[in-house]
């Protein structure tokens, strides 16, 4: 009897394994392919995690070799979000390309339409090549994350991050150079042939 139970439970495990693998494959072949086709531009070898939300796909450009972690939320209603090549996003990353207009007397912020926004309310976000964005990072409008930079988990980015910089923090972020100037030249010579 004991042997029969083991065979039965092993068979159930096998069925569950096949079912889970099939579900993942179907999602990859349908949802992800459909989702990638909606972006303004989507390069090769792009992985999008589960439960991601992108508002205005047509305002988002993604390069090659990009991995977007689960539960990402990228929103740009007027401005654009530009993501370079070889970029990694941890889970729960938020990017916002704009703000609500809040200077109109006698109007609720909710009632202001995109057509009534000022140019400073929405600005493009640029994430250059070879960048790693940790989990739970928030990137706000008008920010440029320089090539080769790392943004540490939980950071809020409101200003540009220079190339090859490690940026960690919220109100008074800590920034340190990832490489010396000579190391940057050598790194770029090897990777980009410069």
Q: Which residues are catalytic?
A: 100
Asked if residues 134 and 151 have their Cβ atoms less than 8 Å apart, the reply is yes
Tokens of 55: 């508002």
Q: How far apart are CA 93 and CA 151, in angstroms?
A: 11
Q: How far apart are CA 39 and CA 67, in angstroms?
A: 15
Q: How far apart are CA 77 and CA 47, in angstroms?
A: 23
Q: How far apart are CA 159 and CA 182, in angstroms?
A: 26
Decide: helix, strand or coil at residue 53. strand
Q: How far apart are CA 109 and CA 182, in angstroms?
A: 49
**At which residue do the structure tokens 């072949």 appear?**
29
């Amino acid at each position: 009897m004991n042997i029969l139970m083991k065979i039965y439970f092993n068979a159930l495990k096998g069925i569950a394994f096949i079912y889970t693998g099939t579900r993942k494959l179907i999602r990859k072949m349908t949802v992800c392919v459909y989702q990638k086709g909606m972006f303004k531009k989507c390069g090769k070898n792009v992985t999008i995690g589960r439960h991601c939300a992108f508002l205005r796909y047509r305002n988002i450009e993604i390069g090659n070799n990009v991995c977007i972690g689960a539960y990402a939320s990228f929103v740009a209603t007027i401005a654009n979000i530009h993501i370079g090549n070889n970029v990694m996003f941890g889970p729960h990353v938020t990017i916002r390309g704009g703000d609500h207009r809040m200077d109109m007397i006698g109007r609720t912020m909710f009632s202001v339409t995109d057509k009534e926004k000022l140019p400073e309310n929405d600005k493009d976000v640029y994430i250059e090549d070879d960048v790693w964005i940790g989990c739970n990072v928030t990137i706000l409008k008008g920010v440029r994350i320089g090539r080769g930079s790392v943004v540490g988990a939980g950071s809020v980015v409101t200003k540009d991050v220079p190339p090859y910089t490690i940026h960690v923090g919220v109100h008074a972020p800590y920034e340190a150079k990832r490489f010396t100037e000579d190391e940057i030249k050598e790194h770029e010579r090897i990777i980009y042939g410069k």
